[in-house]
Chain A
């Protein structure tokens, strides 16, 4: 869930709850106030009635002035009690009114006029007040709804505005590539936290980048500097090997030294090649007919294909011409094909090369099991084949990445398939 959504949801829930509580309180207060008002009216009616009765005015006369229902009855003996307020619901259902239940409040009291005791009931309707209260609630509710919506939108707008530097930073970090020598440049912000974040990230990436470059430079230098002494060692051993009067033990040592040196030399060569691809030293391109290129490479490797009696099937579904560096294409195809030959079966092996408009795939039967995809293209991840340097697939991957292509690997019924989408 997005931070903005989350804060917005919490704010909205809180606002609604607070408003609901507010409305409840307001409603209660209004009702109580109304009750008091009604009571006041009833009491003032009482005073008028008592005064009227004392003045000997006929009840009928002042009753019409009061606008309230008054019931007066004579009682034999006065019982002493204070003013009694009673709430009740009067059922007024009739043909004329649709409101059937009307909330009433009456004041019951006794008074003595001229030695005669009267019991008086004054009635007043509460419905009016209640209705007013309900109106208020409805208005408040509408107001609440509108304010919640406005608040919600406003919150979103403000948050989006406030958080925009943060999202900018986030997206820039996400697309940041250590291999590209780019310096992160963030939106300027006046929010201290974001400012601090940006500064920290900037420092951090700068540090990482510089470490990365130092490390890269170091490995490159090691590879390059090692090349000359390695070739000298290699040549000197070859010269040593020209001598013939060695003991069996010396001969064996010499062979082992030579083999190890050759291996190291080839390995170093491979690493330098990887670095050179990484450093974009193969940028010049030529339009190359892939059909022709594949045919040529297969021809070069024909000896190995024949030695293993592998059946090579070539399916060219399209005539494809690519703008590509010839060296890289050679390395790519060679490694693909050499792997397909090297890991192929000793008998009845097949290789199927398919070229489509946008892809090239190489399928080969193999003695080896499915390769773990996770480490497939890692350097020095190799199936235990002697003499293998374990750089072939990582070279393929490097070239595929260099051209922003995509490579997939699948394994089915003992057949390995590499497919490159171009």
Chain B
């Protein structure tokens, strides 16, 4: 799957490209509206990540272009923290999702996965690992052919981790993904910890290998 990243900030762009490439996506990038539209005309992408604030105008233009010429393509817009209007406008003209800067790379990866799933790219609606199948349409988790009884939060955490395979997910990223900035740090970390503990226990009871690894002090890793 090919993803176009339209972002003018070099450091962020490089991080995003690296991270998504590691997660198995093919990434191209553009830094201006002009070059982005050129690339969009040449290559068919599954998803585009569009920064709204570009040097030669608003990324909204690109979203409009995509929706006009390739409505099947997934679009995630990236906005500055306090530009609510950009966000609303972007969603109105057909962006699938939005991220506000700054974001955790794992969050981006999870969003990209979610958009691609919704847009049915690659024809798969579930994440399949050895003995573990996460059906994101039905929101079911099947371990060794038996459906696991997970709570909503446990399921969300599992999907988030599984959509970032091999990567370390910090506890902050996980807490942010689940509660946004609504929850206080210390309390939410404790909660994440206990949820992960339960999740590991349930996976363990289903005779699965240890998918979730706890990296002391840092976070969690999904090992497929």
A262 near B190 with CB under 8 A, answer no
What are 5 of the A-B contact pairs (CB < 8 Å)? A234-B102, A235-B15, A238-B168, A241-B218, A300-B182
What count of chain B residues pass the 8 Å CB interface test? 36
What count of chain A residues pass the 8 Å CB interface test? 37
Using CB atoms, name the residue of chain A closest to B219. A241
Q: A232-B11, A242-B168, A281-B82 are in contact. Are A388 and B186 (CB under 8 A)?
A: yes
Q: Does B130 contact A (CB under 8 A)?
A: no
B2-16 toward A: CB 8 Å interface, digit per residue (1/0)?
A: 000000000110010
Complex Cα spacing A72 to B83, Å: 125
Give chain A residues whose Cβ lies under 8 Å from the Cβ of B219: 241
A244-266 toward B: CB 8 Å interface, digit per residue (1/0)?
A: 00000001101100110011001
A276 near B104 with CB under 8 A, answer no
A251 near B186 with CB under 8 A, answer no
Complex Cα spacing A97 to B186, Å: 108
Q: Does B183 contact A (CB under 8 A)?
A: yes
Give chain A residues whose Cβ lies under 8 Å from the Cβ of B188: 304
Residue among A254, A259, A276 making CB contact with B82, cutoff 8 Å? A276
Q: A252-B217, A255-B217 are in contact. Are A266 and B185 (CB under 8 A)?
A: yes
Complex Cα spacing A259 to B172, Å: 9
What's the least CB distance linking B141 to chain A, in Å? 19
Give chain B residues whose Cβ lies under 8 Å from the Cβ of A242: 167-168
Q: Does B170 contact A (CB under 8 A)?
A: yes
Using CB atoms, name the residue of chain B closest to A334. B182
Complex Cα spacing A242 to B106, Å: 11
Give chain B residues whose Cβ lies under 8 Å from the Cβ of A263: 185
Known: A235-B104, A242-B168, A387-B187. 16 other contacts (CB 8 A): A227-B81, A232-B11, A234-B102, A238-B170, A239-B19, A239-B105, A241-B170, A255-B217, A276-B82, A300-B179, A304-B187, A338-B183, A338-B184, A342-B187, A386-B186, A387-B186
A251 near B216 with CB under 8 A, answer yes
Interface residues of A in 377-401 (CB under 8 A from B): 385-388, 392
Residue among A236, A254, A262 making CB contact with B172, cutoff 8 Å? A262
Complex Cα spacing A208 to B172, Å: 42
B102 near A301 with CB under 8 A, answer no
B73-116 toward A: CB 8 Å interface, digit per residue (1/0)?
A: 00000000110000000000000000001101110000000000
Give chain A residues whose Cβ lies under 8 Å from the Cβ of B12: 232, 235
Chain B residues in contact with chain A, CB under 8 A? Answer: 11-12, 15, 18-19, 81-82, 101-102, 104-106, 153, 167-168, 170, 172-173, 179, 181-191, 194, 215-219
A342 near B184 with CB under 8 A, answer yes
Q: A232-B11, A241-B168, A255-B217 are in contact. Are A385 and B186 (CB under 8 A)?
A: yes
Q: A241-B219, A301-B183 are in contact. Are A231 and B167 (CB under 8 A)?
A: no
Using CB atoms, name the residue of chain B closest to A300. B182
Give chain A residues whose Cβ lies under 8 Å from the Cβ of B216: 251, 255
Complex Cα spacing A300 to B188, Å: 12
Q: Does A341 contact B (CB under 8 A)?
A: yes
Using CB atoms, name the residue of chain B closest to A335. B184
Q: A238-B173, A252-B217, A255-B218 are in contact. Are A303 and B191 (CB under 8 A)?
A: yes
Complex Cα spacing A281 to B186, Å: 29
Q: Does A269 contact B (CB under 8 A)?
A: yes
Q: A239-B15, A300-B182 are in contact. Are A338 and B187 (CB under 8 A)?
A: yes
Complex Cα spacing A385 to B104, Å: 26
Give chain A residues whose Cβ lies under 8 Å from the Cβ of B194: 307
Q: A235-B102, A242-B167, A242-B168 are in contact. Are A341 and B187 (CB under 8 A)?
A: yes
Give chain B residues whose Cβ lies under 8 Å from the Cβ of A330: 182
Give chain B residues whose Cβ lies under 8 Å from the Cβ of A239: 15, 18-19, 105
Give chain A residues whose Cβ lies under 8 Å from the Cβ of B102: 227, 231, 234-235
Using CB atoms, name the residue of chain A closest to B189. A387
A218-229 toward B: CB 8 Å interface, digit per residue (1/0)?
A: 000000000100
Complex Cα spacing A259 to B12, Å: 21
Using CB atoms, name the residue of chain B closest to A269. B181
Q: A238-B170, A238-B173, A300-B179 are in contact. Are A388 and B184 (CB under 8 A)?
A: yes
What's the least CB distance linking B219 to chain A, in Å? 7
Give chain A residues whose Cβ lies under 8 Å from the Cβ of B217: 251-252, 255, 259
Give chain A residues whose Cβ lies under 8 Å from the Cβ of B189: 387
Complex Cα spacing A73 to B183, Å: 127
B182 near A254 with CB under 8 A, answer no
Using CB atoms, name the residue of chain B closest to A243. B168
